[in-house]
A and B are shown apart, each in its own frame.
Chain A
Amino acid sequence: MFKKTLLVNKHGDEFTGWSEYSFKPATGELIFNTAMTGFVEILSDPSYINQIVTFTSSHVGNYGLSEIDFESNKPRIEAAVGNTFSHSPSSWRSQKALTSWLAEYEIPFSGGFDVRAITKYLRDRGTSMYALGVDIDKNDLLELLNSATNILGDDSALTAGNLDISRNAPEGKVGILDLGAKKSIVNVLESLNYQVVAIKPDSSAEDILSMNLKGLLISNGPGDPRSLINVIKTINNLIGKIPIFGICLGHQILSLACGLKVNKLEFGHHGSNHPVKIKGIKKALITAQNHGFAVEEFGENLVHKDFGNIENYASNLNDGSNEGISLWDSMAYSVQFHPESGPGTSDGLQIFNPFVEMMEEQYAKK
């Protein structure tokens, strides 16, 4: 039996869908993701905390769920809406239906939405907080929306991390400042023969330096980077002292740490098909992206009084927005997109190379 689902924002604008499942209402920033594969990865990526994802792909979950694809241990989104969700998947790897998994964790989801209408609305008017409910009065949803945590100022990155990497000694390992890191990042570093250790966001610069790490990777994560004031301070204290590589939220943190500005984008970049031009690489990379905030453009380069030259390392070919910075004088760089993929193309894997080179060079000195 199909029940009507309702998605509303604070202006009272609404979209409707149909669901065969019942679920408790949920709130989050409504975004759209245009990827056509990689649903398990997206749903389990901690960066989507406090977000409701609109999948623009016609069918979601056709090939089911396989734990190998997990980016964390469970679904991390608040809710998912789309055109249709498959509850009878087909793949030799599939362990269960995506829909059963979401239901198991009581994550609301609903098909039957005109996803193109949602996407156009978000594209034209920007993203904001929404509430989703099934068989529910609109006013109840609006009320719920009042008590929701706004994505602006959201500091859930401080608690989003759940990398399970307990190693005795951090010595000689790569530290991942875990703001909600994806497993794919760990996988790439491990495939490059590095051991990895998770660093808690509240660790101080001194603590981190004392670990004698080979390098520090600032992970992806959810929420508003500008709210992570202490983390930004910590990184500011680390720049120049240890090789640093930032990804996504990590890019924004590094940028804020060296004085650049970060703004909310109108509707963000969420998908697997964004072309990015990297300084020094001839061909454009097709990258996976998932961010609602971005580093403000600052021209080709800047000189920082402590860190030296800050270069515009990468830019988005679709809209020209900043996709990366490099502080080669201070052994730090970062990118806005996801070079580790998961989901997405393997085009970005080479972006780990400078990190590896810096770490090897630096560690050889010791």
Chain B
Amino acid sequence: MPKNKEIKSILIIGSGPIVIGQACEFDYSGSQAAKALKNEGYRIILVNSNPATIMTDPKMADATYIEPLTFEFLKKIIEIEKPDAVLPTLGGQTALNLAMELDESNIFAQNNIKLLGASAKSIEVAENRWKFKNAMENVGIKTLKAEYVRSIQEGIDVSKKIGYPLMLRPSYILGGGGTGLVQSEKDLNSKLKEAFNASPTQEVLIEESVYGWKEFELEVMRDQDGNGVIVCGIENFDPMGVHTGDSITIAPIQTLSDKEYQEMRDEALLCLDTIGIATGGSNVQFAVNPLNGERRIIEMNPRVSRSSALASKATGFPIAKFAALLAVGYNLTELKNDITGSTPASFEPVQDYVVVKIPRFDFPKFPSTDDVLGTSMQSVGEVMSIASTFTETLTKAIRSLEIGKTGIRNIDNRFINLSKAHLEEEIMTPRPRRIFAILEGIRRNWNIEKIANLSSIDIWFLNEIEKSFNVTPESTPTSILKMLGWTDEDLDSKDKKNSLKDNRVYKLVDTCSAEFESKTPYLYSTNGSEDDDDTSNNKKVVVIGSGPNRIGQGIEFDYCCVHGVESLKENKYESIMINSNPETVSTDYDTADKLYFEPLSWDEVSSVLKREQPDSVIIQLGGQTPLKLAKKIHEAGYNIAGSSLEVIDATEDRNLFQKLCESQDINQPISQIASNENELIDSVNGIGYPVLLRPSYVLGGRAMRVVQNDTELKNYLSILASADDDGNPFNSGPLLVDQFLTDTVEVDVDLISDGKEVFIAGVLEHLEPAGVHSGDSTAVLPPFSINKKIINEIEQKSIQLAKALNVKGLLNIQFAVKEGTLYILEANPRASRTMPFVAKVTGNQIIKAGTLLMLGHSLDFVKKETDYLNGSTKKIAIKKAIFPWSRFPAEDTMLGPEMKATGEVLGIGSNFGTALNKAYAAAGVLINKKQKGVFISLSDKEKPNFVEIAKNYSELGFKIYATEGTGAYLGEHNISSTIVGRADDNSPTSLTIIQENLVSLVINTPTFANEYTDGWKIRRLSHETGVAVVSSVREAQAFMKAFSEQENTLDDMEAIQNVS
């Protein structure tokens, strides 16, 4: 059926900030959908609160709202834009939930809006556990046997009926307490009691346990004619019990026979039919008992998902694009397979390669959290790799992780030195490092069945890995070695006469195993005898991507890479992208002229460079990852685009940077290096507390602390010592000791330069006090509290520094202002986390412009010949960071110098108050849902500083709640307050007033200790219930402005196309 012509405009709901479980895969899907539907001539209205996305680029839609994804804002946007239809299936769970909420309130019915992709009814069946279970059982698809019980006796009866092992799940619990596996009747009683105690409703779900079963996912596409295809089958290496987002996964499915696979396929299609998914992409998850093939359907997502992004990258089949086109009435037989360009989309892709995905974790940033993996997702990113065998692909995936591992044979000493019992435990317990424990077990020649039994990992995978350890390089052909996952690093020097690189060829991902010709250059390297694709003699530029998402290096850098590529295309360069992250827009085969899906390690990158012989290599766009390759790229004789290696050295080397700043007359905080305890004490005495300490060998704020006194210094050293085998905190290298400037305002500057001229794209002022990592802080564009003179000085020094460095391309500088004096904190000669949002708000496409400057064009040329730098705005834009606290229930939500944020949201307004109000709303703070109250709890030192602001709140009509000491102090200053008890006192306590929605703000000045104190509980609860927490007078003042603009915020809305 051709497309729906009754619909003229479509509202696409995005997924909001990057959080664990919902990351840039939804930027990829949203961008694809917007592009496809805009091409079809629809008016596209797009809402997303995340400014670092490609989908919110002005050209992607007709009206783009970077606004909070809440009911009120959506309702308002619907009133303004009056769309004919809403597409909710491309923005993850966020979009689906919002659509349901709007539907339930009849907003769609009242406005005559059609819901595309899935009906509200079918979404409800898919999302509601019991409705889903019933629907499946009715058509003969088996689900997990499960029943709710309310007494021990009921529990015993149900247990007999279901059979062991069982899973107990107490109802309405936070964080999984009382959840547990019961292996036999003897454990049942005690475990049931525990579970009943954990549930506030005294209700427990008893469920058949499939822990250790094999886990599979099928990615399904369906159109309104009933055409259904399985785009990709994914098998989990980690068995049931580990969230699929945290599992290593493999495509295609490796260990199912055709009969079993076809039965699963039939059930997946029947599941979609039954739920009533009219059109689009869905993912269906199954568990299979490895002992007898019994199968259970686990869940179904009636929308595109993280897995569908992976499936698209794994097969070349653009699920999101087609989901959007099917939603407006096309069917699969009418759409062309993008990759071949000749065959229809109504087919099932096949692979002649293996794809492996490995998640990437950031547990060291969350020291209170055990790193055991479970059913709640904890990974922050992922890598994908492609090659011709499971072992070769696994090696490439391990290399892609950027954790210093070169492949499956590269096992580090901490596993080699483990005792037998300890290694067994490491193999049994799913942790991010389990794969390496398994490799070590295989290396020790342990019985493979034993490893399979310990881990419940299918023995086929383990057998394949074992082959790699059972060959000798002397008697094995190099192509076979390579297929078994060997790399050059595994060969002794005497074997190196035959480099494994000699067998490296480049093959196409083409959806059809070469049955049809493909013209899309989506490439991967593998062992083989011939290349699939030729290189051109065009003027070409390679862009090196940012690899897996991690805290500190996320979607912002992918945005920059995509803009770099767009700039290259717009200016007639052949653009070549190398990246390993399947979630991203940069690894869409549609983005660059040529895509190499490869690990970003030197071996693979150098092979691509050698093959392509590019005119330039861009390393400024992908964060630290490409920067680390700079030296090797330069030494291999390739031309690094823009700023030279010296610029990187001058900014990264402390001594060089110090000299540079001195020569330019720019102040720096005092900074010293201590190689032993005596030197450290001398330094600290010389500088004076507080000091900022960090080990010299880690980047990105890891293990960085502000230390206030001798006790904290000792604590810090003992933490470092505990991480070292000999207990010497200085064993891994010296410590950096920096003067920590208190009472400062921090500022970020983003600029581009051709070495002679400088264009300052934005100056951003941080709201939080000094000591909060810039990635975690709230940034305001333009500055709101710094006077003109200082801003001038900031701009002058920035220009001066950029010229002195001879920056060609991008530069980000961080300054601190203390009592009118400017200090420089650091400079980064590359794209920064803030550039995407600065570009979006100001309308100046600085990444595109910067890319041209890197390639040798002058700023003057860019200004004259392109429209990249024509923007300007009068709006105030405020970026707020988003944190993964809900995934890490044991962590303190207090911020510090180590970055913890996974994503960001933007509030744009015509004044500071509305902008901040929106930023809060987008971050989940529910200002308007709470009563007009503020809870104040101050440390003695801080009490005097807050008297004025407390008075202001009181005058504004806020009811003031305070702890005993704070209340007394405020009373002395004629501010009346209600005293609340400590967390475990009788009500009212600091916690009950938050729970009962009596306050919209908590003012809490924490002491720097990571303990389960009242402060910890207050901060956690505030986060969970949507209450703002501030710790400085600046923030409290800012909140007041946001609060007083509540009434005006919804009316202060404009599409981004009109903002600049």
Q: Do A and B bind each other?
A: yes
Report A's interface with B, CB cutoff 8 A. Answer: 1-2, 15-16, 18, 32, 34-38, 40-41, 56-59, 62-63, 66, 68-69, 83-84, 86, 88-93, 112, 114-117, 119-120, 123, 271-275, 277, 282-284, 286, 317-319, 341-346
Given A56-B513, A119-B514, A273-B348, CB of A38 within 8 Å of CB of B258: yes
Given A36-B252, A59-B390, CB of A119 within 8 Å of CB of B347: no
Query: With A and B bound together, what is the CA distance between A272 and B233 in angstroms?
Result: 14
Interface presence of B228 (CB below 8 A):
yes
Given A58-B388, A93-B257, A282-B225, CB of A2 within 8 Å of CB of B350: no
Residues of A within 8 A of B291 (CB): 92
Interface presence of B940 (CB below 8 A):
no
Establish whether residues B460 and A93, one from each chain, have CB atoms under 8 Å apart when the complex forms.
no
Establish whether residues A69 and B258, one from each chain, have CB atoms under 8 Å apart when the complex forms.
yes
Residues of A within 8 A of B517 (CB): 123
Given A2-B477, A275-B333, A286-B229, CB of A343 within 8 Å of CB of B258: yes
Query: With A and B bound together, what is the CA distance between A41 and B258 in angstroms?
Result: 9
Q: Which residue of A lies closest to B391 (CB)?
A: A84
Other-chain contact of A283, B226, B255, B261, B349 (Cβ < 8 Å): B226
Query: With A and B bound together, what is the CA distance between A119 and B476 in angstroms?
Result: 26
Interface presence of B784 (CB below 8 A):
no
Instruction: Tell me, rounded to whole Å, the shortest Cβ–Cβ distance linking B329 to chain A.
Output: 15
Interface presence of B475 (CB below 8 A):
yes
Given A90-B463, A283-B226, A286-B347, CB of A119 within 8 Å of CB of B388: no
Knowing that A36-B252, A56-B514, A89-B460 are A-B contacts, what are 7 other residue pairs whose CB atoms are under 8 Å apart, sorted by A's residue number? A58-B388, A83-B352, A88-B463, A92-B291, A92-B293, A114-B529, A275-B347
Residues 629-653 of B, flagged 1 when their CB comes within 8 A of A and 0 if not, give 0000000000000000000000000
Establish whether residues A90 and B459, one from each chain, have CB atoms under 8 Å apart when the complex forms.
yes
Query: With A and B bound together, what is the CA distance between A84 and B393 in angstroms?
Result: 14
Query: With A and B bound together, what is the CA distance between A342 and B261 in angstroms?
Result: 12
Other-chain contact of A119, B261, B293, B483, B513 (Cβ < 8 Å): B513
Residues of B within 8 A of A346 (CB): 262, 265-266
Instruction: Tell me, rounded to whole Å, the shortest Cβ–Cβ distance linking B675 to chain A.
Output: 51
Query: With A and B bound together, what is the CA distance between A226 and B981 in angstroms?
Result: 95
Those of B516-575 within 8 Å (CB) of chain A: 516-517, 528-530, 532
Query: With A and B bound together, what is the CA distance between A56 and B37 in angstroms?
Result: 35
4 smallest CB-CB distances across A and B, nearest first, come from: A38-B258, A90-B460, A343-B258, A37-B258
Other-chain contact of B344, A91, A116, A318 (Cβ < 8 Å): A318
Other-chain contact of B352, A56, A112, A343, A344 (Cβ < 8 Å): A56
Chain A to chain B contacts (Cβ below 8 Å), 7 pairs: A59-B354, A62-B460, A69-B257, A83-B388, A117-B528, A272-B258, A284-B346
Q: Which residue of A lies closest to B508 (CB)?
A: A116
Given A56-B350, A84-B389, CB of A2 within 8 Å of CB of B476: yes
Among B256, B512, B515, chain A packs the most CB atoms within 10 A around the CB of B515
Given A69-B258, A90-B463, A345-B265, CB of A116 within 8 Å of CB of B389: no
Task: Decide if the interface of chain A is mainly helix, strand, loop or mixed.
Answer: loop
Among A2, A32, A59, A346, chain B packs the most CB atoms within 10 A around the CB of A59
Q: Which residue of B lies closest to A341 (CB)?
A: B262
Establish whether residues B332 and A2, one from each chain, have CB atoms under 8 Å apart when the complex forms.
no
Residues of B within 8 A of A68 (CB): 259
Instruction: Tell me, rounded to whole Å, the shortest Cβ–Cβ distance linking B55 to chain A.
Output: 31
Establish whether residues A66 and B352, one from each chain, have CB atoms under 8 Å apart when the complex forms.
no
Query: With A and B bound together, what is the CA distance between A18 and B503 in angstroms?
Result: 14
Q: Which residue of A lies closest to B288 (CB)?
A: A92
Instruction: Tell me, rounded to whole Å, the shortest Cβ–Cβ distance linking A153 to chain B.
Output: 26
Residues of B within 8 A of A274 (CB): 347
Interface presence of B671 (CB below 8 A):
no
Interface size class of B (residues with CB under 8 A): 35 or more
Query: With A and B bound together, what is the CA distance between A50 and B479 in angstroms?
Result: 30
Other-chain contact of B254, A32, A59, A69 (Cβ < 8 Å): A59
Residues of A within 8 A of B266 (CB): 345-346
Establish whether residues B352 and A2, one from each chain, have CB atoms under 8 Å apart when the complex forms.
no
Other-chain contact of B257, A32, A66, A112, A284 (Cβ < 8 Å): A66
Residues 270-305 of B, flagged 1 when their CB comes within 8 A of A and 0 if not, give 000000000000000000001111000000000000
Among B354, B483, B505, B513, chain A packs the most CB atoms within 10 A around the CB of B513
Interface presence of B353 (CB below 8 A):
yes
Other-chain contact of A271, B227, B332, B346, B515 (Cβ < 8 Å): B515
Query: With A and B bound together, what is the CA distance between A275 and B515 in angstroms?
Result: 14
Q: Which residue of B lies closest to A346 (CB)?
A: B266
Instruction: Tell me, rounded to whole Å, the shortest Cβ–Cβ distance linking B240 to chain A.
Output: 16
Establish whether residues A88 and B529, one from each chain, have CB atoms under 8 Å apart when the complex forms.
no
Other-chain contact of A114, B292, B480, B528 (Cβ < 8 Å): B528
Those of B456-503 within 8 Å (CB) of chain A: 458-460, 463-464, 475-477, 479-480, 483
Interface presence of B879 (CB below 8 A):
no
Establish whether residues B333 and A90, one from each chain, have CB atoms under 8 Å apart when the complex forms.
no
Q: Which residue of A lies closest to B348 (CB)?
A: A273
Residues of B within 8 A of A91 (CB): 255-257
Other-chain contact of A277, B228, B333, B352 (Cβ < 8 Å): B333
Query: With A and B bound together, what is the CA distance between A252 and B512 in angstroms?
Result: 26
Given A37-B261, A88-B463, A119-B352, CB of A317 within 8 Å of CB of B255: no
Establish whether residues B262 and A344, one from each chain, have CB atoms under 8 Å apart when the complex forms.
yes
Query: With A and B bound together, what is the CA distance between A346 and B265 in angstroms?
Result: 9
Interface presence of B343 (CB below 8 A):
yes
Other-chain contact of B529, A16, A69, A277 (Cβ < 8 Å): A16
Given A56-B350, A117-B528, A119-B352, CB of A284 within 8 Å of CB of B227: yes
Residues of A within 8 A of B226 (CB): 282-283
Establish whether residues B530 and A117, one from each chain, have CB atoms under 8 Å apart when the complex forms.
yes
Query: With A and B bound together, what is the CA distance between A90 and B530 in angstroms?
Result: 32
Instruction: Tell me, rounded to whole Å, the shortest Cβ–Cβ distance linking A231 to chain B.
Output: 30
Residues 340-361 of B, flagged 1 when their CB comes within 8 A of A and 0 if not, give 0001101111111110000000
Q: Which residue of A lies closest to B332 (CB)?
A: A284
Residues 379-419 of B, flagged 1 when their CB comes within 8 A of A and 0 if not, give 00000000011100000000000000000000000000000
Those of B690-706 within 8 Å (CB) of chain A: none
Instruction: Tell me, rounded to whole Å, the shortest Cβ–Cβ distance linking A2 to chain B.
Output: 5
Instruction: Tell me, rounded to whole Å, the shortest Cβ–Cβ distance linking A238 to chain B.
Output: 33
Interface presence of B507 (CB below 8 A):
yes
Residues of B within 8 A of A120 (CB): 514, 532
Given A16-B529, A273-B350, A317-B346, CB of A63 within 8 Å of CB of B255: yes
Query: With A and B bound together, what is the CA distance between A66 and B122 in angstroms?
Result: 39
Residues of A within 8 A of B477 (CB): 2, 18, 112
Instruction: Tell me, rounded to whole Å, the shortest Cβ–Cβ distance linking B573 to chain A.
Output: 29
Query: With A and B bound together, what is the CA distance between A317 and B340 in angstroms?
Result: 14
Establish whether residues B532 and A88, one from each chain, have CB atoms under 8 Å apart when the complex forms.
no
Residues of A within 8 A of B262 (CB): 341, 343-346
Given A34-B512, A83-B388, CB of A18 within 8 Å of CB of B480: yes
Query: With A and B bound together, what is the CA distance between A286 and B332 in angstroms?
Result: 12
Those of B210-230 within 8 Å (CB) of chain A: 225-229
Establish whether residues A93 and B293, one from each chain, have CB atoms under 8 Å apart when the complex forms.
yes
Other-chain contact of B350, A1, A89, A271 (Cβ < 8 Å): A271
Query: With A and B bound together, what is the CA distance between A232 and B292 in angstroms?
Result: 46
Residues of A within 8 A of B257 (CB): 37-38, 40, 63, 66, 69, 91, 93
Residues of A within 8 A of B460 (CB): 62-63, 86, 88-90
Q: Which residue of A lies closest to B476 (CB)?
A: A2
Among A1, A92, A274, chain B packs the most CB atoms within 10 A around the CB of A92
Establish whether residues B480 and A2, one from each chain, have CB atoms under 8 Å apart when the complex forms.
yes
Establish whether residues A58 and B353, one from each chain, have CB atoms under 8 Å apart when the complex forms.
yes
Given A56-B513, A59-B390, A90-B463, CB of A36 within 8 Å of CB of B350: yes
Establish whether residues B347 and A317, one from each chain, have CB atoms under 8 Å apart when the complex forms.
yes
Other-chain contact of B507, A93, A116, A275, A318 (Cβ < 8 Å): A116
Residues of A within 8 A of B261 (CB): 37
Query: With A and B bound together, what is the CA distance between A37 and B262 in angstroms?
Result: 10
Given A16-B529, A91-B257, A282-B225, CB of A57 within 8 Å of CB of B344: no
